[in-house]
Structure 1
Amino acid sequence: MAHLACISQQLSSIRDLVSGSEKQVFIDGYSLDVPSVIAVARQVHQPKLDSSDNKKNTIAAAVALVAKLSGGEQSQYGVTTGFGGSATTRTKQTALLQKSLLAHCQAGILPVITEGKTLTPEEHDLMFPQEWIRGVILVRLNSLIRAQSGTRWIVIDHLHKFLTHNIAPCVPLRQSVSASGDLGPLAYIASVLTGHEDIYAWHGEGADRKLYNSATVLKNVDMKPIELIAKEGLSLINGTGASAAVATIAVHECHIAAVASQVLTAFAVEVLKGFQEPFNPYLHEQTRPHPGQIEVAANIRRVLLSSNLARTHHVESDPEMKLRQDRYCLRASPQWLGPQLEDILSAQKTMEIELNSTTDNPIVDLDGDFLHHGANFMAMAVTSATEKMRLSVHHIAKLMFAQLTDLLNHTMNCGLPPNLAVGEPSVDYSLKGVDVAAAAYLSEIAYLSNPVSTHVNSAEMHNQSINSMALVSARYTLEVARLTKMLMSTHVFALCQAVDLRAMETSFRKVFFAAIEAEAIAHFPTVTIDAEFMRPLIDRTKILLNTSTDQDSLPRFEFVTSELTATLLRQPTFLAADIRLSAIDQWRVAIAKHGHSLFNEIRDNFVPGSADSGLSLLGRTRMLYAFVRETLGVNLHWGHPSRDSTTIGTEVAKIYHAWDTPAFSQLLVDILEGEVEPAPIPNGGVAKANGHGNGYANGNTNGSGNGYATGSGGGYVN
């Protein structure tokens, strides 16, 4: 399955599960997938247990086999023996042995908790987030119900009731090395089942959701503490449920990052006036047919088809196309992102096997009447998946940063101002701080993306001489995904700022080029001012405008028009005419004055989100622009205290906090899929400025002035 189809299907499944429809997650040991975990963990969807007679009978048979073998002469690990490096001991006190197991695994650091206590942010940082707990319980239930662990139905049923009653045990964030499974985290969850007075859990809804000790929680929901019998403690905690649940949540996050990376890359191609040529299917389908590369190219190509900014191919005569091909961060994006899509899909496949596996030890074999001693708890498969994903998201983040730095650098962004400043560059450094923030995010991402599995330490009497560190790896993968959302939110803000600057540029060029022509006609009546005469002037003006964006507007247009005079004097028809030097200087002064006036008027009257904004220039990415400007209300940064009532960080945060909403994820998919048409560009009053000025920006001639946009110069924009 293609990556886009995969995440689209996931989002659809999550919607179905949380919409109140009849669709429900079914815990049968074989049916869990990524959407199931997301719906239960994050949306508090209530899953259903397979409570068929056949399932209950199979579970009972497994419990009976454990009981039978625990009474035989042959020792059974964790049933009649000690644990780990202490498996040299033997005992017939099977129930007490399970209590001892839980006790020695309750060794993590939690806040000092009392019933009803309100925890500080620092105290929360010591614990699993509650959504993780719900995911862990779901995954562990799905393993236990396979009837290969020897756990009674009452234990499974009570654990399931933790989900139906939204009970979330307090679990230490740090403790597990994910060797013999995630013993510590699962021991805290199992201990709530037993009513341990010093183990706490969240219970209640809304403002009534509080911390209670386990005995009180059980009493609140009419459940009695369970006395665990042979192997049940081991079955509950000796597995990969914690690392698998957190890693599965990370799979979903990484998918969204991969989709976003393609949308943002297409957006970057547009605002940097890049080429569509690198996404031509021949380059990918015929010459290097990696499936991820083919998909990324096709997705970006589809997004750019209706763009008014992205160029179809290089044109040698275009003065803005001196660089023959785009830099790597645009041109090589299919080759860079394609492998990341493939790796994330591979990680999902691994995790969905893990979700539907038995991961404890020993494992009950009913057909063979035997307990198999092995190491299915070793979560290296989870580590492999999360490290693969974490590195993939790092590579995505690196690409986003490379595009962002091109965008903010006026020597590389094809005529946009430095730092995407709307105001005067000498006093407006707009997104310079954004550049630094993005570098900070990427540095942390890069550090966290290093393998965790290469930092294994021997544990537990050297019995766990190798361990997977899967839970730590999953945690770091989620953290990398979170940091990448910060970087991408920053990039989205910059892209929207950039396309609005392009809109101002487009409006300004239209009227300024017309003004150059009109003033030439006025000042040089003996010269034939036609398209052939104007083309060198317009081409040179584009170059001069592009290379002078770091200057304040007044000296900038003095510079541009002064340099343009030399081009004028080289015109053959101009040289043949009898033109006074004073007329040339008057022409230069006039267009410098018009340039400065028009530039400031268009800038001052610009309305983000209007018909004359970036909406008019973008392809399918205008859906994202509209969402940012209209739905989220993210403001353009004007670069002047009189117009900026909020900080740049506040505006970027609006995007970041929207990132996890279903609407935002679906929007990104819709942009790539091409099945939802972008909203029509608004017109009427919303597209108008505040009524000031002379109408130059929209080409009208009913204001004061000449209505320059109606001249032939309007055709020079392209």
Structure 2
Amino acid sequence: MTVTRHNQSAHMSATLHLLRRARELKNKQENIVLDGNNLDISTIVSVARHGVEPTISDDEAIAKRLDLSVQTLADNIAQECVIYGVNTGFGGSADTRTKELVKLQTHLLQFIQSGIVTSADKNPASNSERQPSHVMPPAWARAAIVARTNQNLRGHSAIRKSVLSSLIDLLKNDITPLIPLRGTISASGDLMPMAYIAGAIMGNPDVFVQMGKGADAKIMPSSEALKITGLAPSGLGPKEALGLINGTAPSVAVASLALYDTQQLALLSQMLTAFSSECLAGNVEWTQPFIHDVRPHPGQIEAANNIRRFLKGSKYVVGLESQRKFGEGLCQDRYSTRTAPQWVGPYLEDLLLAQQQLETELNSTSDNPLVDTNPESPTCGQVLNGGNFQATAVTSAMDKARLAIQMIGRMLWSQVTEIINPATNNGLEANLNASAVEGFTMKGIDINMSAYMSELAALAHPVSAHVMSAEMHNQGINSLALISARRTMEAADILAHMSACHIYVCCQAAEIRANHKRFLSTLRTKVEDASEFGALHGLGLSAEQIEALSKSLFPIIEKNWYKANTNTWKDRVVSVAEAVMSPVSDFMAANKPECPASTIIAFKKNFHSIVSATADAMYYPNPTISSEDVASQLGDGTSQLYNYVRTKLNVPAHYGIMDDPLYNHQNGLPTEGKKTIGGWVGIVYENLLEGDMMDKVLENWVHEKAE
């Protein structure tokens, strides 16, 4: 059958672009210049998380369109037109009228600045009880500022350039408003969060801001911060308060941060699926292109292709280039790996759509009313009422992303539990105990993964299904976009927890797998050795007979070595020694019937001794396989991840109780370099999203692949 090949890598390309551009902006290889049309997710990340300072374009055309917008509004006011939010009340109170146009904007901020900010939020040093914050993380606030500035630069909101410059001045002077975490329904826009940003540039004494970061951070009234930095409070003209707060900026800003993380985790999940397959010594013929070409969903094709590329060169799996037609055990992998392309593929497509929705929104006008200018004559321009503040596009993006996160998490949960469970891990020790002492090394992670998964599943329900009517039933439908973005940030963080656990487990499992392979390879040479040092010496067999016996014997040794995996490696030695006795006795009966029972007994003792000595030299507490040897057998992509953890983060294998800091302390042993399991996983977790793990791992892989 002839099929059309799809060489698609749309999701990977998009994710790599996000990572590379964010890195370039962080390293200031490119300036951020806002013009209303070029803002992307990477820019939001670089400003919000890395403190990169944006500027407003000095293009005269932008200044002119802003001025024309303000002038068009002024002309409509002069014509005594009824203009919502300029000379009318707000929302369900829009049937009122006023001539106090400037004061009306202060009225707007007065009733919108209604969120809760506690005394502990204003003085974090006093919060020794670690009460949860009631304000947004500073990165969210910075992201909202840059997003709203860009949206307003489009010139449809009748806001002066000087006011927008005041927003950027907050970023330049490291002034971050304290924005209440809860209280917006994201229609009419994210009024409440943006009202606190507007309050900050106006110097409201009861709108608090943070100046500085880390130990130097101080929280003070915005009026004091403006005075310290020499910034003049911004007075707002007709519609300028409304133009600042009536929009989707906080929603799309937080959503952008959430999606940036989600895209990385989605790509990482494909690498972790490849890593799982290696840990389980899988048959990965399910990555063969034909399977996916005949069901040509782009996401499925890409996921299978990515996993296959991450596995290229792996010595741990079979089925990459050829089909396995013989052998015992499962003839095909379990669903958590084998159907991974079909499982995550549709959600890669959803995440691409979500990114498109957000980046469109970042460069859209989301105000109301909108000023439709006429460059030829401001008096001919119109002020139009609409609903671009309805942030449902953001809600749609976030609900899709959160469901994708849940599906990815469910797959990773399955993979980790299968790797830890001796009934499903294809011969690895129970709980990945690499020690000679009975222990439960990774059992806690098994429990943690179930806890994380349950919480993640609870977050997956669409926020959009919970819309309530608000504000005198004027806002009868509302997007809840910021709530959905917040939930997605929470879900992405949980998935990062799960991914960190997965990475840690896979690194341990890969080493155990590699060490078993090394041991069995060494033992094979000793079984095949016809000299006096060979494992079959003492039976009185010829070299030809030893060759024949070893050929039939070694599959039994290998099978029983992997089968006896419910305890420690020492128990495997006993199992193997017992398993060979019957086939050896049968062989001797057929080929050397005069062999006395004492010879068989002596053989058993000698064989056990050789297997035990061989294992003892290769398993903990003696030196085990090196990380270099492990990496050399992993795939092109997974080896990069393994190397990063072992060499960059210096996270070692864990030998259970022998590596426990309390056990060592109690027994007078050194505690240096000893951590709890959670301590090591925490290092991986912190570096996963806050560090540069994915950026470096993927860049190294792309670079080596290109070579």
- Answer yes or no: same fold by TM over 0.5: yes
Q: Contact between 2:434 and 2:568, CA under 8 Å: does it hold in 1?
A: no
Q: Pick from 375, 386, 391: which aligns with 1:374?
A: 386
Q: Pick from 530, 541, 555: which aligns with 1:525?
A: 541
The equivalent of 2:670 in structure 1 is none
Shift of 1:609: 7.5
Matched, 1:567 2:574: no
* SS in structure 2 at match of 1:261: helix
Shift of 1:454: 0.6
CA deviations 1:538-597 (Å, max 9, x no partner) are 111112112111144555433332222122234488455432222222222222233233
Shift of 1:530: 4.3
Tell me: CA distance 1:117–1:610, structure 2 relative to 1, closer, same or farther (3 Å). closer
The equivalent of 1:616 in structure 2 is 632
Q: Pick from 342, 345, 357: which aligns with 2:364?
A: 357
How many residue pairs are counted as aligned between the two chains? 673
The equivalent of 2:680 in structure 1 is 651
Tell me: CA distance 1:53–1:173, structure 2 relative to 1, closer, same or farther (3 Å). same
1:381-530 equivalences in 2 (<5 Å): 381-424=393-436, 427-517=438-528, 518-525=534-541, 528-530=544-546
CA deviations 1:624-678 (Å, max 9, x no partner) are 1121111111121112336762111101111011112453122332365364589
CA deviations 1:308-349 (Å, max 9, x no partner) are 111125534434xx2111111111111112222111111000
Q: Contact between 1:110 and 1:123, CA under 8 Å: does it hold in 2?
A: no
Q: Contact between 2:281 and 2:426, CA under 8 Å: does it hold in 1?
A: yes
Matched, 1:81 2:88: yes
Whichever residue aligns with residue 683 of structure 2, its letter is K
Shift of 1:441: 0.8
Q: Pick from 560, 567, 582: which aligns with 1:544?
A: 560
Tell me: CA distance 1:563–1:207, structure 2 relative to 1, closer, same or farther (3 Å). closer
Matched, 1:258 2:275: no
The equivalent of 2:223 in structure 1 is 215
CA deviations 1:456-479 (Å, max 9, x no partner) are 111111111211110010011111
Shift of 1:453: 0.8
Q: Contact between 2:394 and 2:481, CA under 8 Å: does it hold in 1?
A: yes
The equivalent of 1:42 in structure 2 is 49
Q: Pick from 693, 699, 704: which aligns with 1:664?
A: 693
Shift of 1:62: 1.1
* SS in structure 1 at match of 2:17: helix
Q: Pick from 609, 614, 619: which aligns with 1:593?
A: 609
CA deviations 1:425-476 (Å, max 9, x no partner) are 7x30110111001111111111111111111111111111211110010011
Equivalent-residue separation in structure 1 for 2:586 and 2:353 (angstroms): 62
Equivalent-residue separation in structure 1 for 2:362 and 2:569 (angstroms): 61
The equivalent of 2:551 in structure 1 is 535
CA deviations 1:472-531 (Å, max 9, x no partner) are 100111111111111110011110111111122122212333344423233233584344
Equivalent-residue separation in structure 1 for 2:569 and 2:256 (angstroms): 53
Equivalent-residue separation in structure 1 for 2:622 and 2:286 (angstroms): 33
Matched, 1:146 2:144: no
Equivalent-residue separation in structure 1 for 2:490 and 2:394 (angstroms): 16
Equivalent-residue separation in structure 2 for 1:595 and 1:629 (angstroms): 30
The equivalent of 2:343 in structure 1 is 336
The equivalent of 1:8 in structure 2 is 16
Q: Please, which moves more after superposition, 127-136 or 219-228?
A: 219-228
Q: Pick from 160, 172, 187: which aligns with 2:180?
A: 172
Q: Pick from 99, 107, 110: which aligns with 2:106?
A: 99
The equivalent of 2:666 in structure 1 is none
Tell me: CA distance 1:59–1:607, structure 2 relative to 1, closer, same or farther (3 Å). farther
Matched, 1:627 2:644: yes
The equivalent of 1:638 in structure 2 is 655
Whichever residue aligns with residue 18 of structure 2, its letter is Q
Whichever residue aligns with residue 166 of structure 1, its letter is D
Q: Contact between 1:521 and 1:529, CA under 8 Å: does it hold in 2?
A: no
Q: Pick from 18, 29, 39: which aligns with 1:32?
A: 39
Tell me: CA distance 1:213–1:150, structure 2 relative to 1, closer, same or farther (3 Å). same
* SS in structure 1 at match of 2:270: helix
Q: Please, which moves more after superposition, 599-608 or 130-139?
A: 599-608
The equivalent of 2:296 in structure 1 is 289
Segments of structure 2 that go 5 or more residues without pairing to the other structure are: 1-8, 375-379, 529-533, 662-673
Whichever residue aligns with residue 343 of structure 2, its letter is W
Equivalent-residue separation in structure 2 for 1:326 and 1:642 (angstroms): 33
Whichever residue aligns with residue 416 of structure 1, its letter is L
TM-score, normalised via structure 2 length? 0.91
Equivalent-residue separation in structure 1 for 2:622 and 2:396 (angstroms): 51
Q: Contact between 1:503 and 1:614, CA under 8 Å: does it hold in 2?
A: yes
Tell me: CA distance 1:612–1:362, structure 2 relative to 1, closer, same or farther (3 Å). closer
Tell me: CA distance 1:551–1:591, structure 2 relative to 1, closer, same or farther (3 Å). farther
Whichever residue aligns with residue 552 of structure 2, its letter is P
Segments of structure 1 that go 5 or more residues without pairing to the other structure are: 679-718
RMSD: 2.2
Tell me: CA distance 1:412–1:117, structure 2 relative to 1, closer, same or farther (3 Å). closer
Equivalent-residue separation in structure 1 for 2:274 and 2:703 (angstroms): 13
Q: Pick from 270, 273, 279: which aligns with 1:271?
A: 279
Equivalent-residue separation in structure 2 for 1:301 and 1:464 (angstroms): 50
Whichever residue aligns with residue 405 of structure 2, its letter is V
Shift of 1:70: 2.8
Equivalent-residue separation in structure 2 for 1:92 and 1:173 (angstroms): 34
Whichever residue aligns with residue 219 of structure 2, its letter is L
Q: Contact between 1:302 and 1:672, CA under 8 Å: does it hold in 2?
A: no
Equivalent-residue separation in structure 2 for 1:667 and 1:53 (angstroms): 40
Equivalent-residue separation in structure 2 for 1:135 and 1:459 (angstroms): 27
Equivalent-residue separation in structure 1 for 2:451 and 2:117 (angstroms): 30
Equivalent-residue separation in structure 2 for 1:311 and 1:265 (angstroms): 15
Tell me: CA distance 1:573–1:647, structure 2 relative to 1, closer, same or farther (3 Å). same
* SS in structure 2 at match of 1:298: helix
Identical residues among aligned pairs (%):
34
Whichever residue aligns with residue 295 of structure 2, its letter is R
Equivalent-residue separation in structure 1 for 2:35 and 2:627 (angstroms): 54
Tell me: CA distance 1:606–1:335, structure 2 relative to 1, closer, same or farther (3 Å). farther
Equivalent-residue separation in structure 1 for 2:176 and 2:210 (angstroms): 5
Equivalent-residue separation in structure 1 for 2:332 and 2:540 (angstroms): 39
Whichever residue aligns with residue 252 of structure 2, its letter is A
Q: Contact between 2:527 and 2:535, CA under 8 Å: does it hold in 1?
A: yes
CA deviations 1:97-143 (Å, max 9, x no partner) are 11111010111111227987636384662111111111100000011
Q: Please, which moves more after superposition, 639-648 or 365-374?
A: 639-648
Q: Please, which moves more after superposition, 99-108 or 121-130?
A: 121-130
Shift of 1:384: 0.2
Tell me: CA distance 1:661–1:642, structure 2 relative to 1, closer, same or farther (3 Å). closer
The equivalent of 2:4 in structure 1 is none
Equivalent-residue separation in structure 2 for 1:422 and 1:376 (angstroms): 59
